[in-house]
Structure 1
Amino acid sequence: MSKVQGMDLRLVTYFVAVVDHGGVTKAAKALYIAQPSLSQAIRSLERQLGTQLFDRSGRWLTLTADGRAFVDPARQILADVEAAKRRVHAVRDLLTGRLEIAVLSALSADPLPELTSALHRAHPGILVTVRDPGSSSGVLSQVRQGDAELGLTDAPVRSDLLRTQELWEHEITLVLPPHLAAALPDPVPLAAIGDIPLVLESSEAGGRAALDDVLGQAVGFVAVECAHRQAIWELVMHGAGATFLPRRIAETELRNVVVRSTSPQVRRTVRLVFRPGPLSPAATAFLNVAADMSRRRLS
């Protein structure tokens, strides 16, 4: 039984079929081959192994001791081949795959570019399509409906129909033109925000972009509502009002502004959202990249 290497896998498949169907006749029908051809294939396998697998002395084929000993290894050989095929297909899909991801606009500057760049360094052939659903609820809706395989959001996910992978927390800061920040303490009490002119995001999909309960209660004076993220940044930098942004974005993307924490501090959890069940190789690779980045940011 030591001659397994180099064996014709087709013959191993035939052997397992004969065992599972209880004889050559039924196995030949299941395999869509002629019975004499199957019988000859089993004899060829026996010659390769140098042993008799079936006892042919009676009316029915029965396994010999060596045949019984070969059943489990034969099944394992076929299982290993199928597993190898799946790995090859996964590699192929990573070379030419595609990924649709719905992204909350506030996260399109960070961490989406960093995540996508890391994915492309590992798998440059994957095409990533970024969807802008207009709101946190839109992110969840597109993932639930299958329009996007993954969603990137910092809003809570309250759905038994979705799974999440939490990445890290980020601080939501108040970003102000210098003239609005001059008279404010640091950090800025939430109670003081009601008198500050604000520039907030809006969208056709859901009206003003959702703020969490804490920030929503603090908002009083909305000077501008704008559907375009980049325009909001420009409006703040030109003194039209203040806005709320993750600290990392505020400190790296905006110029000539003051970035202040609030009191109490407001923090949100960045998370990836996906449906239960198997994911595409591209989505799995993105989750792995995100997990690596999360470990680096938290270390």
Structure 2
Amino acid sequence: MDLRLVEYFVSVVDHGSVTRAAQALYISQPSLSQAIRHLERQLDVQLFDRSGRQLTLTADGESFVGPARRILADLDHAREKVRSVRELVTGRLEISALSTLAVDPLPEMTSRFQRRHPGVLVSVLDPGSSAGVVGQVRRGQTELGLTELPLADDALRTRELWSQDIVIVLPPALAAGLPDPVPLDAVAGIPLVLEFSDIHGGARVHDALDRAIGHVAVECAHRQAVWELVRHGAGATFLPRRIAESEVSGVVVRSTTPLIRRSVGFVFRPGPLSPAAEAFMGVAEVMRAERANEPAPQRPDPPTTASKRRTPGRTRG
């Protein structure tokens, strides 16, 4: 049914005549009369009695007035919903993210987005691996995925944000016997604490690290527990530098040689994105520009006499 015809019908009822309704609708009277007859043919009923000098509703017309008003009210409500979503007054955005990226940079992105668009609900899922992020985006479970790049999936589109330095995070006792930076050749002899998904969910952190990893001492499904296990001396782990230096205390943070870096960014399906997704990636682009101007991380100074008891490397605590 053409909803425009329903609007015309209600206008004729409200104005009491085709002439006044046509004037209110800014259309000609013959065009409006023809539209009403077309609606009657679609409904297979006669809505108005035209036998007298005045246009009056038939019984079928009387019974259609209520449903017609509800149709138009629902239409107005739907239009308002669409407008609210388009203008980011309300809505919902689903994002998949790797666990480390859910620590940094996703919280800052989400906070900035929410300050601008507090009515939009952001729902974050953690599928446990890069493959899981890609799968959820491909199936339409989430609109955006925040993961490591590049992807092997050519059917999806990507937008790179920046690169992250991957560092080794060690208990002080374990770091004491290791050079700084830590050669990848030495990683095979270090007991490691890794997230369960890092081991069983596809590539761990980086191909070079995957080849270097030898002794996995603890597998753990919980990210925060991994950090606590490292702090208590169960082994070392690998984290992006920003997370290691801001979130984990009482540990030694060291680079590897060669330096390990990974690119991170968004993955999404081809086609237009929702206004919320476009706005969220706009926030990320601002952060990308800000981080591009950040000074490079400074290597710690060599131990001095005053600090000779400290473990070489950067200690958090």
TM-score norm. by structure 1 comes to: 0.70
1:134 equivalent in alignment to 2:128: yes
Report the counterpart of residue 54 of structure 1 in structure 2: none
SS in 2 for 1:32: helix
Q: Deviations over 1:112-143 (max 9, x none)?
A: 10010010011011101111101100000000
SS in 1 for 2:128: coil
Amino acid at match of 2:117: H
Report the counterpart of residue 120 of structure 1 in structure 2: 114
User: 2:228 aligned to 213, 227, 234, which one?
Assistant: 234
1:289 equivalent in alignment to 2:292: no
1:219 equivalent in alignment to 2:222: no
Deviates more, 1:128-137 or 1:198-207: 198-207
SS in 1 for 2:261: strand
Report the counterpart of residue 32 of structure 1 in structure 2: 35
Asked whether the equivalents of residues 178 and 258 of structure 1 are also in contact (C-alpha less than 8 Å), the reply is yes
CA displacement at 1:94 relative to structure 2 = 1.0
CA displacement at 1:9 relative to structure 2 = 11
CA gap of 1:163–1:223, structure 2 versus 1, over 3 A, is same
Distance, in Å, in 2 between the alignment partners of 1:191 and 1:204 is 20
User: 1:245 aligned to 239, 246, 263, which one?
Assistant: 239
Structure 1: tracts of 5 or more residues without a match: 1-7, 16-23, 36-84
SS in 1 for 2:89: helix
Report the counterpart of residue 156 of structure 2 in structure 1: 162
Percent of aligned positions that are identical: 60
Asked whether the equivalents of residues 197 and 221 of structure 2 are also in contact (C-alpha less than 8 Å), the reply is yes
User: 2:188 aligned to 184, 194, 211, which one?
Assistant: 194
Distance, in Å, in 2 between the alignment partners of 1:260 and 1:127 is 38
1:279 equivalent in alignment to 2:282: no
Give the length in aligned residue pairs. 231
Amino acid at match of 2:94: E
Distance, in Å, in 1 between the alignment partners of 2:24 and 2:131 is 51
Distance, in Å, in 2 between the alignment partners of 1:107 and 1:207 is 16
| Structure 1 vs Structure 2 CA RMSD | 2.8
SS in 2 for 1:94: coil
TM-score norm. by structure 2 comes to: 0.67
1:151 equivalent in alignment to 2:154: no
